[in-house]
Amino acid sequence: MLRILICCVVLGAAAAAATGQSIRISDWRTLSSLRTVRDAAAAPDGTLWVATSGGVFSVGSDQQVLEEYRNINALQSIDATAITVDPQSGVVIVGSGDGALDLRYPDGRWSNVTDIRRAGQYPRRGVRDLVASNGRLYIAADFGIAIFDLSNETFIETVDRIGSIQEKTRTNGIALLRDSIWVATDSGVVVAPLDVPTLRLPSVWVVTDTSQGLPEMSVPYLATNGQQIAAAAGTGAYRWDGARWVLHVAAPTPINGLSYDSELLVSTLNGIRSASGPLPADWQGELIGHTVASINGSARIIGFVRDKAIAIHDGTSVSLVAVNTPLSNQFARMAIDAKGGFWAATDVDPPRSGQGMSYYRDGSWSNLTAFSSPALPSNSCYRVSAFPDGRVVFGTWGGGVVMTNVNTEPLQLVTLNSGNSAMKGIATNPNYVLGADADIDRSGNIWIVNEQSAGQLLVNLGTGDPSATVGYPNCFDSRDNLYRALAVDLGNTKWVGSFNGSGLLAYNDRGTTSTSDDICQVVRSSNTQLPDNVISVLRVDRVGQLWIGTPKGVAVIAAPTSVTNSTIPFVRRISALTTVVVNDIYVDALNYKWVATTSGVYVLNEDGTEVLTVITKTNAPLADGNIRSVVVDDATGTVYLGTSFGCSVASTSSIRPETSFDLSIRPQPFRIETDGEVVIDGLATDADIRILTAGGFLVQALQVRGRQAVWDGRDVQGRLVPPGVYLVQASSAATGTSGVAKIMVRR
């Protein structure tokens, strides 16, 4: 188990423990999609190994997923681009887009090779193809080729100048045919004998290109059956006849995969074909590539199915291998619903890269797309919000707003757009509706930012009836609708943040239809201490303070309800975070602030005067250092850190306290030397804990805000306590309750 414990950097570890101002973080894992397949290879035992954009998984003979491997205790990077299996040793070798090379031995042990990944002389270091033969690994990479000795895990040589082609030219594929090595590059196909002293000599290479029949210089695919060599580029697959490349298979659309079965096969989006024509098979979706693997002595065609991972053709029928993962590696915005379900919006760069919504509950992923769920109007889902009454709202780029309620099963999606609600489209297209951040007021009305609409800024969605929605213009400047962030304070003022430098707008309709009593105010860096007029996120904390994230740090308005048409509330900058670019903020059950930035996550105490924890790629196995979104499940303390390359998840001590004490102790008995610490669970808010001997003498005292406390088995003087039974007395002045439990200590 990987465990990180980072205490308050201001007070120090001892003071942090005494006041309860600390965050425990442990049990890291990664959520990522295994549905975009790049390569696959079979092991001697019949296991199929699959490389994807989100890691690696293995498939057994029953065509069920056996194991999933990501960047914790296995791979260096989840961006797996190539995979092969050494036929002699059974070692699985994985290459990644950043140059990482990872080896899995038959006993389950992983070994990480960092040489290529750390080779700073090459701006591009991605691994494109792998071939293992006779104890050697041949690597096609963005800078050339490398040869690796599998027996002692050392590199034999690196060839970054191949023949007469330009130095550091990208290589895309490798094939070994008898005594020669063939390499597909961005400048043709090259070949050299394997029995030369070194492949670094340009003179040993022969270059073939368009002058020998290739349709273009860049060749992405190469394959051999041990007798012939073939290359594919564009819409054609070509075989080498000893003097030139001869067209063998012509495809109607671009080729995305090449292999040999009993004959030469190519794949396109529409399926697989040979020189004889299309292979009759239902691949259950578009193919983004394929390979052929020998599984238990029988050749199988492995189709890489878009958004569905792999399908296996056994010569008669096609079987889809089910993969229980999200559809996308992009976690643009996230939310936890009223039933503990986890939602992720996938569009980080609308409207180009979204793949709908991903939803995780009870161990199963559901992926909502415009294709699988026709009620979803667009895959460009870039915002999601969940509310205590079960409602979930996600905003789309162009398709309007989608609402659902997790208390109704199966989920029903309701779309609000310009045709059935007060939502409006952009000026150039009235039907192209953008829905950004949403929040709920104290009356249960949901408000949403109608981003970039013509003459409108906010829409009151009410309880979800499209016909009852009401739109509101920008009260300060009706022409400016370049806003995205939203938070509703305890006085029902809607605070709207601009992504275009217009600062912060405060609007309150005062619960009336008349505009004469409305509050309309603008907060900017010119009239306050606001760090920047670009606002990335707004959040109201558990005591009503408004937290503001900007590209230049964090600010807070302690009394947002004091805003009037003539009064601007005081804005305080958080001094510890003046240089960070803020993407998101989450207020957890303890009123701590999790600040997601381009360089990691900062956890602040209640008023932001202390940094309790800093989480970066240097001290945690994050999927990426640029944290785009953050959310904490208050019921379990699970934190989700969303990036464009997967979501990093960990267990934390930020758990919603109980309303009264329901104490439990784990482990029980507590063995100090092996367990390290004991968890006291079931605490009420702001608990005072006294650990006593059976005779009533004080051993240790703790103050804790959340539902859990930990004790390391030491007394107030730092000495390990002797074996025996110890009493835990816990009380809370906030709730007026108390509880008692016992800890059995063994040495």
Write the DSSP symbol of residue 18.
H
Instruction: Check residue 747 and give its pLDDT.
Output: 83
Q: How many helices and strands in the chain, by DSSP H and E?
A: 2, 67
pLDDT the model gives residue 511: 84
Q: What is the DSSP string of 620-648?
A: S--S-SS--EEEE-TTT-EEEEEEBTEEE
Neighbour tally for 207: CB within 10 Å: 17
| Average pLDDT over every residue of 587-604 | 97
Element (H, E) at 739: strand 737-746
How much is the pLDDT for 355?
Answer: 96
Beta strand pairing status for 724-732 and 519-523?
unpaired
In the chain, pLDDT over 70 holds for what percent of residues? 97
Instruction: Check whether 23 has a pLDDT greater than 90.
Output: no
pLDDT, residue 544, reads 97
3-state secondary structure of 80: strand
Q: What is the pLDDT of residue 435?
A: 97
Q: What is the DSSP track for 635-688?
A: TT-EEEEEEBTEEEEEEES--PPBSS---EEESSSEEHHHH--EEEE--BTTEE
Task: Name the β-bridge partners of 306.
Answer: none
Mean pLDDT score of the chain = 94
Distance CA 352, CA 600 (A): 25
Which phi and psi angles does 742 have, rounded to 5°?
-120, 150
What is the β-pairing status of strands 687-693 and 724-732?
Answer: antiparallel
pLDDT band with cut points at 50, 70 and 90 for residue 372: confident
Q: Residue 21's pLDDT band (boundaries 50, 70, 90)? A: low
Q: How confident is the model at residue 606 (pLDDT cuts 50, 70, 90)?
A: very high
Confidence label for 352 from pLDDT (cuts 50, 70 and 90)? confident
pLDDT in the model for residue 466: 87
Spatial distance between the Cα atoms of 510 and 516, rounded to a whole number of angstroms: 10
Q: Where are the beta strands (DSSP E) in 362-457?
A: 364-368, 381-386, 391-398, 401-405, 414-416, 425-426, 429-434, 438-440, 446-449
- On whether the CB atoms of residues 127 and 140 are closer than 8 A, the answer is yes
SS3 state at 445:
coil
pLDDT at 14: 30
The torsion angle over the Cα atoms of residues 553, 559, 562 and 563, rounded to 10 degrees, is 10
pLDDT higher than 80, residue 17: no
Whether 216 shows a pLDDT value over 50: the answer reads yes
What's the pLDDT score for residue 726?
97
Burial annotation 619-633 (CB, 10 A radius, 16+ → b, else e): ebbbbbbbbbbbbbb
As beta bridge partners, residue 145 has 140, 159
How many percent of the chain have pLDDT more than 90?
A: 92
Q: How far apart are CA 349 and CA 363, in angstroms?
A: 29
Instruction: Answer whether 0.75 is exceeded by the pTM.
Output: yes
Token pair for residue 159?
């060839």
Indicate the pLDDT class of residue 512, thresholds 50, 70 and 90: confident
Q: Is the pLDDT of residue 337 over 70?
A: yes
- For 275-288, letters b (16+ CB in 10 Å) and e give eeeebebebebbbb
Mean pLDDT in residue range 706-729? 95
* Average confidence (pLDDT) over 650-655: 95
**Predicted pLDDT at 361:** 94
Torsion angle, alpha carbons of 214, 218, 221, 223, to 10: 50
- Tens of pLDDT, residues 230-288: 999 999 999 999 999 999 999 999 999 999 999 999 999 999 999 999 999 999 999 99
Report the half-sphere exposure of 378 (CA within 13 A, side-chain side): 29
Q: Which residue has the tokens 């008669």?
A: 316
- Report whether 634 contacts 656 (CB < 8 A): yes
- Selection from 547, 593, 588 nearest residue 569 by Cα: 547
Task: Give per-residue pLDDT as tens, 57-72.
Answer: 999 999 999 999 999 9
Confidence check: pLDDT of 16 > 70? no
Give me the DSSP letters along 392-416. Answer: EEEEEEEB-EEEEETTSSS---EEE
Set out the domains of the chain in order of their start, with CATH numbers: 1-31+605-654 (no CATH), 327-473 (2.130.10.10), 657-746 (2.60.40.1930)
pLDDT at residue 8 greater than cutoff 70: no
Cα angle value 332/333/334 (rounded, 5°) = 130
Q: How many Cα atoms are found within 13 Å in the side-chain-facing hemisphere of 735?
A: 19
- pLDDT above 50 (res 190): yes
> What contacts 24+ positions apart, CB below 8 Å, involve 737-743?
737/659, 737/660, 737/661, 737/684, 738/661, 739/660, 739/661, 739/662, 739/663, 739/682, 739/684, 740/663, 741/663, 741/664, 741/665, 741/680, 742/665, 743/665, 743/668, 743/670, 743/678, 743/691, 743/711
Q: Of 365, 322, 304, which Cα lies nearest the Cα of 50?
A: 304
pLDDT tens, residue by residue, 513-545: 888 899 999 999 999 999 999 999 999 999 999
pLDDT at 474: 95
